Amino acid sequence: MSNTIREAVEQFLAQLAPFNQLPPAIITQLAAQVQPLRYRMGQIIMVRDKQPPRVSILYEGQARSLGYDPRNGLPVTLSLLQSGAVMGWINLVRGIPCETTIASTEVVCLTLLNQEFEHLLQEFPPLHREFRERCAPIEAFDLIGKRLEQQAQAEGDLKSLSLAAAATAQVFHLSPGQHDLSLEENPLLGSDRIWLLSGGEIRNLAVASQLCPEAGTVELEVVGSRPARLVGLVPDEWSQLTAGAIATPAPQESPEPSLESEIAFADEAIPFAQAELVGEAFTPSQPTAAAPGKLPFVRGKTPIEAGVAIFQMLSQYFGMPFRREIIQRVVGEQLQRQESLSLNVCGAIAELMGLNAQLVTVPAHAIPRLSAPALVRWQDSLALLYEVSDRSLTIAVPEVGLLRRPPKPCRNLAERRGRGTGTPAQKKQRNAPGTVWTGLVPALPLSLFKYLDFGICGLLFRAALCPSQSLDDSDHH
């Protein structure tokens, strides 16, 4: 690390809470210990179930913190992390790797070995209070998600409940060995909080299980060398969980990006992080966007292959890293639950790739005004709408090829179907406007990504595109 970078890091840490409470000499030492690493847009910084060797401090750029809803296996964006966010600490204090973070833009992280970070927590109370005595949002999400799964509650906004619970939760640690809670000073007895095991091992008590001292379990044993970490939820949040009365909020736009650190590493040689940090194979070559006039096309014969192909084409179109193993696993898990990929699932996968989306509505006659690319439902599969104009639509269908079709017959067919026979409810459904998810691709502010379900236009594409001309796609593989 050059002196320029070391000085920039030291200045950054001296202004960042809680590290700014460390003695100046320790901050100087810490600045020399950290290793700056650069992550490409869409690259995984850390992933659940795999313990990374380092804790990361976000220095430049933005990253997305994801949780996985155990009820359906889909990723949920918990927050958009900004400069100064610390990632990986909750993995250490719980002893359970539960964090997944993905770079939304190209980012620079200051990484510190786990053992060095744990030493700081042991030696300096401000860091101990901030990281060991605080419940992280992903921790609450993980615990409450397991409870909802155990209670077979399919509905409910897990994200909102978890964020609220984390803000009011209390954390308590029990040292290894035998404990008689009635003889020890602790908040576990006589407290109105609901205590869940978050980390460590208590005999005959699984992680996310409730500790019930009022039921007679005042004697317990913490097994192993790691303290047991208990998270206490206030009764209000717990009553919502047990009653299933969890309101689902209206869709919200993502927060505006905050300003980056005033100290930049743009002119310095910061190495790119390799996948060994998260335990997955990674090809370090820089992805490149599709050449102008050349549309990416990937074939897929089976439903899994077709679903993966859609997102691989998106990655090639935008020049984003493509994590085949992760995308294929999510697509495969969803197809085991249902016959085809829903657009909600596609939106979640888009977030997993680092794309941000917003819901809007599009009537059939407005198709030519869409900004491509777009993800549309076509027959029983999905397709990418690559080019849109008043004269033609260019669509990539993994099972078929690249297709071109004038949009006007599509609109005429939609109108005829809308005036067709059927019950009033069927007519209303046929004439309903479609839903469209739109969003800016991070670091590519002029490129719009959309995924759509045209409703009646889904039938429209199904009928109108079958006889269409197949483009010569020999150059698009």
**What Cα–Cα distance (Å) separates residue 218 from each residue in 61, 190, 201, 214, 351?**
48, 12, 16, 8, 44
**CATH homologous superfamily, domain 292-470:** Cysteine proteinases (3.90.70.10)
Which one has a higher pLDDT value, 168 or 3? Answer: 168
pLDDT digits (tens, 9 = 90+) for 334-367: 888 888 887 778 877 877 777 655 555 566 667 6
pLDDT computed for residue 140 by the predictor: 95
Is the predicted pLDDT of residue 331 greater than 80, yes or no? Answer: yes
Is the predicted pLDDT of residue 432 greater than 50, yes or no? Answer: no
| Section 428-448 average pLDDT | 37
- 3-state SS string for 89-155: HHHHHHCCCCCEEEECCCEEEEEEEHHHHHHHHHHCHHHHHHHCCCCCHHHHHHHHHHHHHHCCCCC
141-243 and 292-470: identical CATH topology: no
SS3 content of the chain, % helix, strand, coil (to 5): 35, 25, 40
Is the predicted pLDDT of residue 32 greater than 70, yes or no? Answer: yes
**The architecture CATH gives domain 3-134:** Sandwich (2.60)
DSSP 246: -
Ordered by start, the domain boundaries in the chain are 3-134, 141-243, 292-470
pLDDT digits (tens, 9 = 90+) for 152-201: 665 668 898 899 999 999 999 999 999 988 888 888 887 788 899 999 99
pLDDT digits (tens, 9 = 90+) for 257-270: 333 444 445 445 67
| Section 81-105 average pLDDT | 94
pLDDT computed for residue 443 by the predictor: 33
Pairing of strands 228-233, 170-174: antiparallel
The answer to whether the pTM exceeds 0.95 is no
- Structure tokens of 224? 């192993």
pLDDT computed for residue 408 by the predictor: 59
Residue type, 145: G
**What Cα–Cα distance (Å) separates residue 60 from each residue in 9, 38, 265, 372, 403?**
11, 9, 8, 30, 41
pLDDT computed for residue 27 by the predictor: 96
pLDDT computed for residue 476 by the predictor: 41
Contact 294, 369 (CB under 8 A): no
Pick the range with the lowest mean pLDDT from 118-122, 182-186, 414-418: 414-418
Is the predicted pLDDT of residue 416 greater than 50, yes or no? Answer: no
| The domain defined by 141-243 carries CATH number 2.60.120.10 | yes
**What Cα–Cα distance (Å) separates residue 440 from each residue in 81, 318, 390?**
17, 11, 24
**Which secondary structure element, helix H or strand E, spans residue 67, and what is its range?**
strand 63-68
Mean pLDDT of the chain: 75
Pick the range with the lowest mean pLDDT from 5-19, 86-100, 311-325: 311-325
Question: pLDDT band for position 129 (50/70/90)?
Answer: very high
pLDDT digits (tens, 9 = 90+) for 217-236: 678 899 999 999 999 998 77
Question: pLDDT band for position 333 (50/70/90)?
Answer: confident
